[in-house]
Structure 1
Amino acid sequence: MSINATLFVQAIVFLILVWFTMKFVWPPIAKALDERAQKIADGLAAADRAKTELAAANQRVEKELAASRNETAQRLADAERLAQSIVNEAKSRATVEADKIVAAARAEAEQQSVQAREALREQVAALAVKGAEQILRKEVNAGVHADLLNRLKTEL
């Protein structure tokens, strides 16, 4: 066989091989490559969507945290105001109670002072009668001189 015939047969075999590859081998490979490219594109799109959703979720979380901080600060301020009002109310009640106790103690002291004065007057009157008795060397009748003794008590 000549080189031309061999070359011609090899060209025909090559063309058959190319046709066979294009018809039966290349479409599954191209299909697999296209599917792979589509999966990669879907994955990238899902990653972009997830990134967007993550950013939105982060913004929502930041808003919620800010709202929570504000609410906590408000509650703390309310609690401090309530505590201050309770303390002020307790102070006012304590002041009123202390004033009552002081007034009662003063009244009791005044009453005891009056009682002590009365007892002292009685003793002074008794001593005055005894002294007069001693001076006069006779007995003085307290019942007869009661008016005199009462005047003496009031003067003392």
Structure 2
Amino acid sequence: MDLLIPDFGFFAWALLAFVILLLILRKFAWKPILKSLNEREQNIAGAIASAEKVKAEMAALQSENEALLAKAREERAALLKDARETKDRMINEAKEQAKTEASKIIADAQQAINAQKMAALTEVKNEVGKLVIEVSEKVLKQELSSPNKQEAHINGLVDSIKLN
């Protein structure tokens, strides 16, 4: 039973050792321990604040990135629309220019055909005229070789003139 109930002297010495140890720890150990705990608490609070700040910045950057992406999409769509309009305009201009040039070529060809046709007709008329003159000359030489034939021919011409 001695082990369960200590002596008063042992208790007093143990209490005195504990109080001295407590005072020594309070003076030398608790201040640095408390100081390091406070520093660690401040570091943790600072890290949490920094994390919150970084989180807020990341959210702002993310929304800014989304806005930039939306703007880039809009610009891309506008550029594609402009490119399509430019392509369509260029195609239409090329078609119109081709139509104009085709019309000009056709008109020039028709003028050339008409000019060649007129030249051919003129040449044919000239040839026909020459042939008519030659034939008439030959016929008249034969018919007008005698005075009786000349007189009959002149009378025929006079009669035909009167009829017209």
TM-score (norm 1): 0.76
* Aligned with residue 54 of structure 2, among 50, 56, 60: 50
2:64 match: 60
Residue 94 of structure 1 and its aligned partner are, at CA, apart by 2.4
2:15 match: 11
Q: Does 1:101 align with 2:105?
A: yes
Letter in 1 for 2:98: A
2:87 match: 83
Structure 2: stretches of 5+ with no match in the other structure: 1-6, 143-164
> Aligned ranges for residues 14-53 of structure 1 at < 5 Å?
14-53=18-57
Deviation readout 1:71-118 (Å, 9 max, x if unpaired): 121122122212222322232232222222211211111111011011
Distance 1:113 1:38 in 2: 108
Total equivalences in the alignment = 136
Structure 1: stretches of 5+ with no match in the other structure: 139-156
Aligned CA RMSD, in angstroms, stands at 2.0
Q: Considering only CA atoms, is the larger Rg found in Structure 1 or Structure 2?
A: 2
Instruction: Give identity over the alignment, percent.
Output: 35
Residue 34 of structure 1 and its aligned partner are, at CA, apart by 1.6
2:151 match: none
Deviation readout 1:16-60 (Å, 9 max, x if unpaired): 111111222111111111211211121111111101110110001
Aligned partner of residue 124 in structure 2, secondary structure: helix
The structure, 1 or 2, with the larger RCO (C-alpha pairs under 8 Å, 6+ apart) is 1
